[in-house]
Amino acid sequence: MTIDTEGLAQELIERIERAQDLQSLEALRVEALGKKGRITAEMKQLGGLDPDARREAGQALNAVKDRVAGAIEARRKRLEDQALETQLAAEAVDVSLPARPERRGKLHPISQTVDEIIAIFGQMGFEVAEGPDIEDDYKNFTALNIPPEHPARQMHDTFYLADADGRVDMSTVLRTHTSPVQVRTMETTTPPIRVIAPGRTYRSDSDMTHTPMFHQVEGLVVDKKTHFGHLKGCLQDFCSAYFEVEDVPLRFRPSYFPFTEPSAEVDIGCSRKGGELTIGAGDDWLEILGCGMVHPKVLAMSGIDPEEYQGFAFGMGIERIAMLKYGIPDLRTFFDADVRWLDHYGFAPLEAPTLIRGLTP
């Protein structure tokens, strides 16, 4: 028996190169190299030959097998590339096209409020600092003068993370406030420090006025002669600029935070006459933030000498001040992802707030 190995190879390779899709290529592979394929069938015939002829024909068939397999691989690669190119061409988006008015998106009130906060504090010389949502227990608590046995830990309804075996790992938390960014900043910066840190915070609490995730903005100033007057002036300027009300009335009430001493909570003056909330008028008060002078122990733990430096810090709820300014009555609607709500309360995306042109579009 003499097989025309060259003829077989040429015929198969020609057909492989003409295969138009992966399916017909696979059919060809089965036809040539499959268990009942033509090359396999030829291999089975070898047994009937005498040893010399068998070796020669075997080598020739193996060479054909390799060439055919190589041709299939090359064709497969080419077909896959073509398919990808076709798909990319079909899915191409022209990013230079203007948005259709009925499809135009809006900026979420939280994004708008953060932009406004950054514009105001930016003007005062603050930089934006950041920290991760997943924080270690040390920076969220211990370095803020909240040691493990401190009752303030219970006040925070902390989400603890599980370790690799699914066991609760007390050393990693979802940050319960933005204050750990104070620690991160002090550990890595030599004063003077002037930063704000807006971001997400988490507490295991959910009702009319609490959501498990919410936003805060932290402020931290550390310098050689920083005092409580600076804190008051800074917050007064911020509130007047943010609420766009000159000399907005603020009330500082003595309070307690483990990481500040003295500490205060700040209320803003408002009126609720006729069910309508007006900021900056009337004789009602609404709490908007916590603040105080950075505790000397907190400075020292983060490597800043409290004999040489003092600082002030504050933490404000972003949803709270967004609700007050924009008359949004229900906290939970912030996170409903309802486009009708966003259409109503959202903001034009391309008009960044500035103090010169005005904060709100």
Which residues in this chain contact ligand PHE in the complex, by CB under 6 A? 177, 179, 257, 260, 290-292, 313-315
Closer residue to ligand PHE (CB): 49 or 213: 213
CA nearest 24: which of 85, 79, 66? Answer: 79
CB of 207 to ligand PHE, least distance (A): 17
Whether omega for the bond prior to residue 262 falls within 30 degrees of 0, making it cis, is yes
User: Which is closer to ligand PHE, CB of 26 or CB of 157?
Assistant: 157
Give min distance, CB of 96 to ligand PHE, in A.
Answer: 44
Residue nearer to ligand PHE on the CB measure, 260 or 302: 260
DSSP-derived secondary structure letter, 142? G
Residue 138 to residue 244: CA distance in whole angstroms: 38
Least distance between ligand PHE and beta carbon 359 (Å): 23
CB of 190 to ligand PHE, least distance (A): 21
Q: Which of 211, 191, 162 is nearest to 294 (CA)?
A: 191
Question: What is the rounded distance in angstroms from the CA atom of residue 239 to the CA atom of residue 233?
Answer: 10
d(CA 108, CA 346): 5
The residue whose Cβ lies closest to ligand PHE is 315
Please identify, using beta-carbon distances, which residue of 142 and 278 lies nearer to ligand PHE.
142
Token digits of residue 266: 């700040």
Tell the smallest beta-carbon distance from residue 220 to ligand PHE (Å).
8
In DSSP notation, 70-124 reads HHHHHHHHHHHHHHHHHHHHHH---TTSPPPGGG---B-HHHHHHHHHHHHHHHT
Closest separation between CB of residue 185 and ligand PHE, Å? Answer: 12
Burial of 252 (0-12, 13-18, 19+ CB in 10 A): middle
Token readout for 345 is 């309360």
If the CB atoms of residues 185 and 260 are measured against ligand PHE, the closer one turns out to be 260
Looking at the Cβ atoms of 314 and 347, the one nearer to ligand PHE is 314
